[in-house]
A and B are shown apart, each in its own frame.
Chain A
Amino acid sequence: MKKYVCDVCGYVYDPAIGDPDNDIEAGTSFDALPDDWVCPECGVGKEDFSVED
């Protein structure tokens, strides 16, 4: 599964880790994140993330 980078702060969403602090289990793909999920570092939404290159 692909990693995604926050364009604003550089936080990397890694599906293998998920976002346990915000109840996102390991193994959750970026697409499967809920629409109201926000970057845990800077608070922007999913639309401000890009696929890591």
Chain B
Amino acid sequence: MRVGIIGAGPAGVAAAQVIAGKGVEVTLFSAEKVLPYYRPRLPELAFGNKQLDNIFMHKLEWYAEKGIDLRLDSKVKTIKRDFEISLKNGSNEKFDALVIAIGGGPVIPDFCKRSSSKNIFPLWTYSDALHIREQIKSNKKIAVIGGGVIGIEAALRAEDNDLRVVIIEKTKHLMSRNFAKHASELIEKQLRERNVDLLLDNSVTAVEDTPDNKTLVVMEHENGVTCNFVVLSLGAGFDTSLAYEAGIKTDRKILVDKNMQTSSPGIFAAGDIAQFSRPTACSAKESLQQGKTVGLNVLAYLNNEKMKIYEVQPVPVRFKYKDFEIYSIGKVPKIDDDEKRLDADDLKVYRACIYEGSVLAGVQMVGSNKDIRKYQEQFLLAKAWENIKGVRHEKGFEES
């Protein structure tokens, strides 16, 4: 029997590893030319001053040893419900089960589509990171459009590499979907203290290259910003056409049931592209876990055995770079919410537990993630998120 896995991020590779060696042939298709890598390390690859030697998940030989037929530069163009797939080179292949683990892609806004600038770079793939790396020579100025976690990480690392950095963000406060206003203000203060300029409450309307080889970012309310290049970090978008065109149910992403099977039996989805009742946040850890479960469930499907249930949990927004630390899970406090500060008089640190009655409904931290494990466990154990409105389907990592 043969299983085809489409996409070689954490979800696809984990699924392949579980299925391989169990008497089933596994083929792992990747649209990219390089070996599967750790996407969370891309900001470091793009802006770091050290060479990164461990960004690839495994060496090429590993795949053959495990019995995984890894096909690089092999984008899957169409799939059918009888498990036949077609590749961009025109060939077709037939399988007995499929896993869709194609992840998402960067949101490219209209002002970029209209622009002829050669200096706009998303930060999503290995080759994106290398493009940015080429751009970096000292005394350059960059504009980061989008102040989510990835934008903030890019800005901090760029600043550390002697670039001048400005983050341009549409909302009034950074990360306002995940943090209370006073927490956001502290995040902003800490970024400014680290020489990251912020232009908040500002929508970019155009990006143009100037005759002197620079790039002008035009905004709604402010004078334009001139820089050498632009890093785009506006969150993730999802292309569901592969599934949709095969008649598989989709919403914003590809819909899966509690076993992570799509509406078409024997076709599973895992990772960022999979959606339970409502979209959850993107996360490498979550994707890896889903890939493992899907691997087991593909084997169960092929052997007519009972499948495992995947337990969906809230995904924290969490980021740490040197002494810049932020964390948020569950409910974001509003003004009249019951918020217990853990460091009452410390102006540099904000850590708070948010209660709903006596139940821990959310945890927020800026400036220090001390004791975060303790509170996260308490929060997850309380399972408050199953009952509290706005918590379970909290938007997270990618869309902030």
Which positions in A face B, CB cutoff 8 Å?
A: 5, 7-12, 21, 35-36, 38, 40-45, 48
- Determine whether B192 belongs to the interface, using a CB cutoff of 8 Å to chain A: no
Which positions in B face A, CB cutoff 8 Å?
A: 10, 37-38, 40-41, 44, 54-57, 284-285, 288, 318-320, 322, 327, 369, 371-374
Q: Which residue of B lies closest to A9 (CB)?
A: B40
Judge whether A9 and B322 touch: CB under 8 Å.
no
Judge whether B38 and A9 touch: CB under 8 Å.
yes
Known contacts A35-B373, A36-B372, A42-B40; decide if A8 and B322 are in contact (CB<8 Å): no
Judge whether A10 and B54 touch: CB under 8 Å.
yes
Binding site secondary structure of chain B: mixed
A-B contact count (CB 8 A): 47
Judge whether B373 and A38 touch: CB under 8 Å.
yes
Q: Which of chain B's residues have a CB closer than 8 A to the CB of A40?
A: 320
Q: Which of B10, B322, B372 contacts A21 (CB 8 A)?
A: B322
Judge whether B41 and A41 touch: CB under 8 Å.
yes
Q: Which of chain A's residues have a CB closer than 8 A to the CB of B56?
A: 10
Q: Which of chain B's residues have a CB closer than 8 A to the CB of A42?
A: 40, 284-285
Q: Can you list the 6 inter-chain pairs with the closest CB atoms, starting with the nearest?
A: A10-B38, A36-B373, A9-B40, A43-B318, A8-B285, A8-B284
Judge whether B55 and A48 touch: CB under 8 Å.
no
Judge whether A36 and B38 touch: CB under 8 Å.
no
Instruction: Give bound CA distance, A46 to B78, whole Å.
Output: 40
Q: How far is the CB of A33 from chain B (nearest CB, A)?
A: 12
Judge whether A45 and B319 touch: CB under 8 Å.
no
Q: Which of chain B's residues have a CB closer than 8 A to the CB of A10?
A: 37-38, 41, 54-57
Q: How far is the CB of B39 from chain A (nearest CB, A)?
A: 9
Judge whether A43 and B41 touch: CB under 8 Å.
no
Judge whether A7 and B288 touch: CB under 8 Å.
yes
Q: How far is the CB of B206 from chain A (nearest CB, A)?
A: 35
Judge whether B40 and A41 touch: CB under 8 Å.
yes
Q: Which of chain B's residues have a CB closer than 8 A to the CB of A41?
A: 40-41, 44
Q: Which of chain A's residues have a CB closer than 8 A to the CB of B285?
A: 7-8, 42, 44, 48
Q: Which residue of B lies closest to A7 (CB)?
A: B288
Q: Which residue of B lies closest to A5 (CB)?
A: B54
Q: Which residue of A lies closest to B373 (CB)?
A: A36
Q: Which residue of A lies closest to B286 (CB)?
A: A8
Known: A35-B373, A36-B372. 17 other contacts (CB 8 A): A7-B285, A8-B40, A8-B285, A9-B40, A9-B284, A10-B41, A10-B56, A12-B54, A36-B374, A38-B320, A38-B369, A41-B40, A41-B41, A42-B40, A42-B284, A43-B318, A44-B285
